[in-house]
Amino acid sequence: MSDLQTLPLFSDNWRPSMSVEEVAQCLNVSTASVHNWVKTGYLSKAEVNRITEESFLAFRDNIAGHEKLTKRANKSLADSHDHEALQATFIERLSTASSTEYEAIAIEYEAALSNSYKNKEGIYYTPNTIAGTFFEHITTEIENVKFCDPCCGSGNFLIAAISYGIRPENLYGYDVDPVAVEISRRRIFEKTGFLSDNIVCLNFLESAAKNEIPIGKIDVIFTNPPWGKKLSKTEKVFFSNTFKTGKSVDTCSLFFFAACAVVKKGGYVGLLMPESFFNVATHQHARKKALEYTLIALTDFGKPFPTLLTKAKAIIVKLAEPSNATSTVCKTLTTSHNRPQSSFQDNPRAILNFNCPPESADVIAHMMALPHDTLSGHARWGLGIVTGNNSKFIKHKISADHMPVYKGKDILKGYLKSPSNFIPNDISLYQQVPPLELFLAKEKLIYKFISSDLCFYYDKNQSFFINSANMMILNDTLPISSKLLCDLLNSKIMNWFFKNVFETHKILRSDLECLPIHTNFLKNCHAFNEENYLAYLGVIQDKNGTFRLKKQDM
């Protein structure tokens, strides 16, 4: 008999099984989720890349049916629509509607799009009141201005342009959505009697990249571009190379670069952007590009889209070199002030922190100008344990096979609450565990991850924590101790600096790595003393908690 014939048909522990892909398909989730559920013990592995049918059935009937998973699986079905049918219906409606109905049809069309489609395509039409404010910044003769909204949606910027005196024959509007284009054309016709040939269905990014938009013809582009629209990797690489966008490849940044490429020298580009554009690392190339031009205005609009949590802010630049005297109008939700454009230039990552008033910006610029180090390259960083299922693993009583674990909320400035959460000692159970040597370091700093305050704890007890807290282990390449660094990061001045520069509720490593650490002064201190540090900086704290340069006192 050959070897093959001696083998049993099935091995002894053979059980009916399904491939990971099949399980993912049945549960309407990604294969990564299936792998996670294997790790967290919900599903059992059969052979390589296969799941036992028994565990799949038990999971589907007993767990997926009762936990959030079902919601997730069902969400993609409930939150969808037949787009072709919807477009056909609206094109038909438009062809028979009377001219007074166009704006109402635009609102209905946007409402008929499912949220998942709107998010995927970046479709949120700008309220008229917001679109109108952009035009207040144009100082050139308006009558001959050629205005373009390169992703015009239902035409709210085009209509605002008409209200500000721009002639309908000088309007250009593009969009990839034929219904949106038709609504815009008809609204312009309704308002002016002019049926424009310049409102057309095209992909602005592609056309601008291929020089198909007549460069130098357009004076002004104001728009709300699609935010976070999905693009393929090839598209991202192509647009990034063409427009020289560096790492800023989100569609909102790509539209900014493309708009700057097609607008005349001396013209205006103004975009309504997600809040992240103004401070997050991936958009820094776009911010640096903006600072090469004259930064006219930055405006905070809060949360103008009822179904979106993301905040929106506008940036308006004039395509001309800034001068030393360039002053930027900064409108927050409650105040308005002017900031010298140069005050944004030296911010870490060219962050446009325009909520920060000019006196505070002076302190920030001063702290950045004094010789300093940063944590970049001087520390090792780690996240907390990701258990994969906190409610399954976390117990609130200690036992022999469990160990204490801290959450972000257990960390206070310089203190750790008594442990109230315990997880099994067997770390192989968890979805993600950072290298143990980080947890076991002789000294480390643990900090809260979701917080508007810097909350650091100096840990000498090799404590473990889960993913609402992170850790940092200082190398000996910075001439200060971990304890002193901890007290510095918890100090009032550092917290004030962090809030005023980064304007965020997440304590990110990339932000911490930008903080100025004034080692020239700190290396001579045995312990951190805030009063002495402020004296070194030449900064004083006002009664209202804000800081200002001492020399302003004299």
Question: Which token pair is 103?
Answer: 């704006």
Task: Look at residues 282, 289, 281, 275 and name the one whose alpha carbon lies nearest to residue 247.
Answer: 282
Q: Between 232 and 391, name the residue whose CB sits nearer to ligand SAM.
A: 232
Does 173 sit near ligand SAM (CB under 6 A)? no
Stretch binding ligand SAM (CB under 6 A), from 7-15, 186-194, 218-226, 514-522: 218-226
Among 152, 290, 317, 454, the residue binding ligand SAM under the rule CB under 6 A is: 152
CB of 218 to ligand SAM, least distance (A): 15
Q: Between 119 and 341, name the residue whose CB sits nearer to ligand SAM.
A: 119
Provide the Cα torsion 224, 298, 307, 163; round to 10°: -50
Q: Between 175 and 410, name the residue whose CB sits nearer to ligand SAM.
A: 175
Does 103 sit near ligand SAM (CB under 6 A)? no
Does 315 sit near ligand SAM (CB under 6 A)? no
* Binding residues for ligand SAM restricted to 228-267, rule: CB under 6 A: 229
Task: Look at residues 40, 35, 32 and name the one whose alpha carbon lies nearest to residue 386.
Answer: 40
Stretch binding ligand SAM (CB under 6 A), from 58-66, 116-124, 352-360, 471-479: 116-124
In terms of C-beta distances under 8 Å and separation of at least 24 residues, what long-range contacts does 100-108 make, across chains too? 100/190, 102/183, 102/186, 102/187, 102/190, 103/154, 103/187, 105/183, 106/154, 106/155, 106/183, 106/187, 107/154
> Which single residue is written with the structure tokens 């143990």?
436
CB of 402 to ligand SAM, least distance (A): 50
The rounded distance, in Å, linking the Cα atoms of 322 and 339 is: 13
Stretch binding ligand SAM (CB under 6 A), from 27-35, 170-178, 368-376, 500-508: 170-178
Does 277 sit near ligand SAM (CB under 6 A)? no
Q: Between 275 and 453, name the residue whose CB sits nearer to ligand SAM.
A: 275
Contact status, residue 129 vs residue 302, Cβ threshold 8 Å: no
Among 43, 138, 148, 205, the residue binding ligand SAM under the rule CB under 6 A is: 205
Residue spans of beta strands (DSSP E) within 224-363: 263-274, 294-300, 312-318, 327-331, 336-340
Does 149 sit near ligand SAM (CB under 6 A)? yes
Give me the residues paired with residue 340 across strands: 327
> Which single residue is written with the structure tokens 């304590």?
507
Does 156 sit near ligand SAM (CB under 6 A)? yes
Q: Between 109 and 422, name the residue whose CB sits nearer to ligand SAM.
A: 109
> Cα 218 vs. chain centroid, distance in angstroms?
30
Does 125 sit near ligand SAM (CB under 6 A)? yes
Residues engaged in binding ligand SAM (CB under 6 A): 121-126, 149-153, 156-157, 174-177, 180, 203-205, 223-224, 226, 229
